[in-house]
Amino acid sequence: MKCIIIDKMHPSIAPALEGLGLEVDYFPEINQSEILQIIGTYEGLIVRSKVSVDKTFLDQAPNLKFVARAGAGTDNLDTDELETRGIKIINAPEGNRDTLAEHTVGLLLSLLNKIHLASHEVKSLQWNREANRGEELMGKTVAIFGYGNMGQAVAHRLKSFGVEIIAYDKYKNEIAEDFVRLVPLKTIFNKTDVLSLHIPLTQETRHLVNETFIQKFKKPFYLINTARGEIVSLKALKYYLDQNAILGAALDVLENEKFDSLNAIEMEILKEIINSRKIIITPHIAGWSHQSYVRINEVLINKIKNYLSE
């Protein structure tokens, strides 16, 4: 079986795949047109985010048997089309969930305690204690929105902070952890002090956090998004930050992370978001540690091995 890797991966990936008996081509610099010219000869594809594996792509890949996504999300994969064609979908949320959970908690603590602001000011020779007085996390209600691999990992790290942890997941009726309470959506709107998003990007969740959604919360809250940027409308976020309905936000992802493609209005909103003292933004690195870089490979290899033995 021939397998092609079209994105940069930790160098351990090719030898491990060859150890499973696969013939591996590693082309991390290949572009989309070049991929389409040769994909028809491969049975396996490993991808991060370089291409959308949709009907147009799959029409050029008649021999494809599996697609492995090096990460958690599958929003660049047309899962319905892949399933219709009987192509196995493999992803690796277990590979970066711990890294993402630690980053999420780090963002939250920095946001509440203004660590990012205070550090910047001291480095600018400003010593402002009162302006940087923080908020304790203890005693707050943290809502985990989406209780899969990522949400569970975040909850486990929060349980020692003296918070009430509630979770909403439309696909779950029960959970194993006794320190988390699975609640209906109405309870999320009524009780939340901190909302942490851990849901995939789908047509249903695109711009889920919009004006209508935010208006349903009964009290001001902090927003953390380490899931997908398109889930949160930056326009709505900016408005409700100005209205103090959202007390602060920590974002690892944005609606459009390709800044050179923003139109004038989008750029203006982004600039206002960036300049807000209520916002922390990191460049899509929540799941991107040295350890997760290796661990994603390990998860994929194990799942591909199980697939080949079916």
Q: In this predicted model, what pLDDT tens digit does every residue of 106-148 receive, in sequence order?
A: 999 999 999 999 999 999 999 999 999 999 999 999 999 999 9
CA 291 to chain centre: 17
Per the residue annotation, which of 228, 230, 255, 295 is the catalytic one? 228
Calculate what percentage of the chain has a pLDDT beyond 90. Answer: 99
Per the residue annotation, which of 10, 156, 157, 284 is the catalytic one? 284
Asked whether the predicted pLDDT for residue 24 surpasses 90, the reply is yes
Domain boundaries, the chain: 2-91, 97-281
DSSP letters for 133-167: -----TTPEEEEES-SHHHHHHHHHHGGGT-EEEE
Q: What is the DSSP letter of 44?
A: E
Asked whether the predicted pLDDT for residue 30 surpasses 90, the reply is yes
Q: What is the mean pLDDT of residues 4-11?
A: 96
Per the annotation, the verdict on 228 as an active-site residue is: yes
Per the annotation, the verdict on 284 as an active-site residue is: yes
- The pLDDT of residue 310 is 86
User: Residues 109, 158: contact at Cβ < 8 Å?
Assistant: no
Q: What is the DSSP letter of 251?
A: E
Q: What is the mean pLDDT of residues 174-184?
A: 96
By CB atoms closer than 10 A (0-12, 13-18, 19+), residue 250 is buried
Asked whether the predicted pLDDT for residue 93 surpasses 90, the reply is yes
Q: What is the DSSP letter of 92?
A: -
pLDDT in tens, 38-50: 999 999 999 999 9
- The pLDDT of residue 72 is 92
The first and second tokens of residue 111, run together, are 């946001």
Asked whether the predicted pLDDT for residue 184 surpasses 90, the reply is yes
User: Residues 77, 104: contact at Cβ < 8 Å?
Assistant: no
pLDDT in tens, 240-294: 999 999 999 999 999 999 999 999 999 999 999 999 999 999 999 999 999 999 9
Nearest to 280 by CA among 244, 237, 236, 239: 237
Q: What is the mean pLDDT of residues 47-62?
A: 96
Which amino acid would we find at residue 42?
Y
- 3-class SS string, 185-231: HHHHHHHCCEEEECCCCCCCCCCCECHHHHHCCCCCEEEEECCCHHH
The pLDDT mean for the chain works out to 96
- The pLDDT of residue 218 is 98
Return the H-helix or E-strand segment holding 73. none
Half-sphere exposure of 182 (CA within 13 A, CB side): 15
Looking at domain 2-91, its CATH class is alpha beta
| Residue whose entry in the numeric block shows the structure tokens 């277990």 | 94
Per the annotation, the verdict on 277 as an active-site residue is: no
Q: What is the DSSP letter of 250?
A: E
Q: How confident is the model at residue 196 (pLDDT cuts 50, 70, 90)?
A: very high
Rg (CA), the chain: 21
CATH code of the domain occupying 97-281: 3.40.50.720
